[in-house]
Amino acid sequence: MKLNISLTKLIEVIGSEQTVQTDEIINSVAFDTRKIIHPDSTVFFAMEGNFRDGHDFIEDAIAKGIRYLVVQKGKSKLDADAFFIEVDNPLKALQKLAAFHRQKFNYPVIAITGSVGKTIVKEWIYHLISGEMKVVRSPKSYNSQLGVALSILEMSNQHQIALIEAGISKPNEMQSLYEMIRPTQGIFTAIGSAHSENFESLEQKIHEKSILFTGTNATWFNPNIPLSDSQMSEMNAFAVAPEDYKNYLKHAPFQDKASLENVSLSVAFALHLDIDKDLIIERIKTLPRLALRMETFDGIQGNLIINDSYNLDLEALTQSLEYQLSLANGKKRVAIIVADQITENRRLELNQILDQFDLNAIYQITKDETLPLDEINDSVVLIKGSRSAQAQKIAALFQLRKHKTVVEVNFSAIKQNLSYYRNLIESTTKLLVMVKAASYGSGAVKMSEFLEKVGVDYLGVAYADEGVELRNNGITLPILVMNAEEDGFNDIINYQLEPAIYSFEMLESFVKHLIMQNLENYPVHLKIDTGMRRLGFEPAAIHQVIDIFQAQPEIKLKGVYSHLADADNPVDEAFTLNQIKRFEEATAIISERLSYQFIRHILNTEGTARYTQAQMDMVRIGIGIYGYSSNPKVQQHLIPAIGWKSVISQIKKIKQGETVGYSRTFVAPRDMSIAVVPVGYADGFKRSLGNGVGGFYVQEKWCPIIGNVCMDMTMIDVTDVATFEGDGVEIIGENQSLASLSDKMETIPYEVLTSISRRVHRVYLEE
């Protein structure tokens, strides 16, 4: 980002009433304190998001050298050593700055929207034209109200064309995106069901998206979109039918319907720019299968590895380095650049970017060079390069475990699922996310780091040692220990965890521990049994419990909660409503007797969706963030966030009559091809799934299990599948959902996730 705007002009543009006498030049903006690089020429915008408020990080921004901050009126820190620029809405102020910045440039600006395919079309157009033109484009899938503003601010005089994504999820959002982008041309990829619940009709949804193309001199669109004649006229629309581009499409590496539609749009625009037809055909052959998510995993020698090997253009490198900075939290940072060859001019361009980030070490590796692995330890390591340069092989060198079966955790999906639940509740209602049992098998530390980053209010664990692990890894959020035990009281106190107290004996014991350490006002939570008949005080005992709180200065009531036993029952609500009533009566007594406020919470994941009226002060979300709900209406809004993948270790040909596996339970009815997959019941894949009960997907085709599931391996039938050793295998994913696998296991999704062995490598993906 190189804004080159005076602070005085910036204040004028964003509409602040303040004045300042300075010649200070501002070159960049920041909204995340973890990504601040050059504070002396950066303005920090404190913005409120779904999960966190930027005003809470003002002190952190100032501590990192920021001197100018854009804040909401009334939220300046009067005693801070910084200049505060007050506005009604910092996000709107940033959008005004983006709109002003956009007007500096006369080159083509292409806006891309649609329900699906925006990022793919943008990246494929870039692939087709970047050899002839200097392109600035939205990073990854930055297409929101904030993302578009940041994308526009990346425009500079060095570029010749801009490709800007724009996405909306509800009415009245597109106008502000249009004001920033002011596109000269447009691309309308597709219209689908995403966010349809927020629009009155398909026509309204199309109308809202079409606002982006107002007055464009040309807009290319998928003919499946039912545009009206007036809409087509307003945007100078051209329908792009795949049958008109057959000579190009036959060279595409992807032949599914959606991909061919997206290739057609990309080709149509490239031809509009007069890109040579033969060049287009050659580049179509190498269209990338987009890997727009950064893969993060624990590596050897104490390293955290960020594998971002999609491409090596300079803007993508900048975004990756910013992401690395946000994860580092004070750890050493190392960049490994991988390319087939690095010319001297290219090396200079790379160094100009790398030098801005004050890295601890930089390695630029070509295909003929080796990496000194022993030099890299206890660092956050970014591996950046193109797939043709085999950066994936470099990443493999850092793998902590060589088990080829992995669980993929999609942080971007989790973030969207959190947004769904957040939108169900009031902005003042706190959100606690359960991370017990290694965060349902996804990895408690990494998940908690992510949840802290996106601004949840509380974490919940089952036992003290789970909370201690989080504290030892730098997690600072409040942590509720729901099954606190006396043996863990010292750890709870030493690591500032908050215990749930559920019996008089436990309460007395915890108070004694506090007295021994001369502590007062320690935060504790009460659990009340309203019908689960598990842990908790009986409602009739509330007065006696409060007597103890009023008599013992060592403890202070932080929260009161109960647990719903039947919240997922879609037929009979009576039991749940009675639980809520009993809880409200009990907490009313507590409120009457105590002179201070405390947090009340009873809703779990299913309860949050079905009984939102009982959200009180906080809700607790568990498996819902991973994209699973027993409520079909909720499920359609969630995105599956867990994938379980493996590979084919070996393929064998067997003859009719041969047997397979332990106990020879499978006898081949014909000549067959079988594949051996390195996953078994020691990994959490149940033995009961053997002999055709379960199966995997290979090349998107169902392959049933033959014979018994072994401890470390499973055999599947691939007779009718064109596959090879090393090909991918889906255990949970797009074809076999978590719910369908749990049904085959005759259990629930919770058990499936928590049963996946720790030896199965966890990989974290984020857009």
Spatial distance between the Cα atoms of 398 and 661, rounded to a whole number of angstroms: 34
Buried b / exposed e over 718-736, threshold 16 CB at 10 Å, is beebebeeeeebbbbbeeb
Q: Where are the beta strands (DSSP E) in 200-328?
A: 218-221, 237-239, 294-298, 304-308
H or E element in which residue 8 lies? helix 7-14
pLDDT in tens, 579-603: 999 999 999 999 999 989 999 999 9
Q: Which of 472, 651, 490, 495 is nearest to 480 (CA)?
A: 495
pLDDT in tens, 14-25: 998 887 777 789
For the cut 80, the answer to whether the pLDDT of residue 486 exceeds it is yes
For residues 529 and 344, which has the higher predicted lDDT (pLDDT)? 529
For the question of residue 323 being annotated catalytic, the response is no
Confidence of residue 11 (pLDDT cuts 50, 70, 90): very high
Q: What's the fold here for domain 642-766?
A: Lyase, Ornithine Decarboxylase; Chain A, domain 1 (2.40.37)
Among 210-214, 314-318, 321-325, 440-444, which is the least confidently predicted range?
Answer: 314-318
Among 288-297, 504-513, 744-753, which is the least confidently predicted range?
Answer: 288-297
Q: Which of 404, 436, 446, 527 is catalytic?
A: 436
Q: Domain 105-284 sits in which CATH superfamily?
A: Mur-like, catalytic domain (3.40.1190.10)
Alpha helix positions (H), 475-617: 489-494, 504-516, 542-551, 574-593, 605-610
Spatial distance between the Cα atoms of 463 and 451, rounded to a whole number of angstroms: 19
CB 93 within 8 A of CB 109: no
Spatial distance between the Cα atoms of 532 and 579, rounded to a whole number of angstroms: 9
What architecture is domain 411-635? Answer: Alpha-Beta Barrel (3.20)
H or E element in which residue 395 lies? helix 391-397
Mean pLDDT, residues 486-491: 91
Q: Which of 246, 277, 653, 662 is catalytic?
A: 662
For residue 35, what is the DSSP state?
Answer: G
Residue 196: per-residue pLDDT: 65
- How many percent of the chain have pLDDT more than 90? 64
Confidence of residue 297 (pLDDT cuts 50, 70, 90): confident
For the cut 90, the answer to whether the pLDDT of residue 562 exceeds it is yes
Confidence of residue 185 (pLDDT cuts 50, 70, 90): very high
Secondary structure of 603-637 as H, E, C letters = CCHHHHHHCHHHCCCEEEECHHHHCCCCCHHHHCC
For the question of residue 2 being annotated catalytic, the response is no
Q: 5-92 in CATH: which number? A: 3.40.1390.10
HSE at residue 550, side-chain half, CA atoms within 13 A, is 13
Cα 569 to the center of its chain, rounded Å: 30
Among 198-202, 399-403, 745-749, which is the least confidently predicted range?
Answer: 399-403
- Supply 575's token pair: 């039991």
Helix axes 118-129, 257-272, angle to 10 degrees: 40
Residue 293: per-residue pLDDT: 60
CATH 3.60.20.30 for domain 294-400 = no
**pTM of the full structure:** 0.69
Spatial distance between the Cα atoms of 341 and 754, rounded to a whole number of angstroms: 45
Domain range list for the chain: 5-92, 105-284, 294-400, 411-635, 642-766
pLDDT in tens, 706-759: 999 999 999 999 999 989 888 899 999 989 999 999 999 999 998 999 999 988
